[in-house]
């Protein structure tokens, strides 16, 4: 990790959501008025399960390293610092680090009354290993 530098805190091991991740991630709560925001850092190869935001969506601000974002039925998109991903409500997707790089993004939840996340199946090692940065 000595070569990986980011401006936001690494945070603690992401124990609260570990069951929805393959690999190790870290979570730091950021203080923003009006909307929950988190710095999520992924070790190389770490990714979250497929999931859906119901009612409210999510915006990812990529801040360090290299990662992936994929919506169901679409090719995976390579993410680099400065990239922004707007994830509308109801879209099945996943995101995480490439196999050879740490990755960090700020995850901003789009507020909506009754918003929930539905966690689904893991991204298989077979699916993930086919991705090339």
Beta bridge partners of 79: 67
Task: State pLDDT tens for residues 16-64.
Answer: 999 999 999 999 998 777 777 899 999 999 999 999 999 999 999 999 9
pLDDT of residue 35: 73
Task: Say how far apart CA 14 and CA 39 lie, in whole Å.
Answer: 11
pLDDT of residue 32: 72
Give the Cβ contact number of residue 25 at 10 Å. 24
Task: Say how far apart CA 50 and CA 115 lie, in whole Å.
Answer: 17
Confidence of residue 1 (pLDDT cuts 50, 70, 90): low
Pick the CATH number of 12-129 from 3.40.47.10, 2.60.120.10, 1.20.840.10, 2.60.40.1180: 2.60.120.10
Give the Cβ contact number of residue 50 at 10 Å. 19
- The structural domains of the chain, with segments of one domain joined by +, span 12-129
């Amino acid at each position: 990790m000595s070569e990986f530098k980011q401006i936001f805190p690494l945070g603690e091991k992401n124990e609260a959501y570990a069951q929805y991740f393959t690999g190790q991630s870290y979570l730091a709560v950021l203080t923003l008025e009006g909307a929950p925001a988190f710095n999520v850092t992924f070790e190389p190869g770490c990714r979250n399960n497929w999931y859906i935001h119901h009612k409210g969506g999510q915006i990812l601000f990529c801040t360090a390293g290299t990662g992936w974002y994929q919506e169901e039925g679409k090719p995976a998109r390579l993410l680099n610092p400065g990239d922004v991903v707007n994830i509308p409500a109801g879209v099945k997707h996943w995101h995480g680090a490439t196999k050879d790089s740490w990755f960090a993004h700020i995850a901003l939840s789009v507020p909506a009354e009754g918003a929930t996340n539905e966690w689904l199946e893991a991204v298989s090692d077979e699916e993930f290993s086919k991705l090339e940065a």
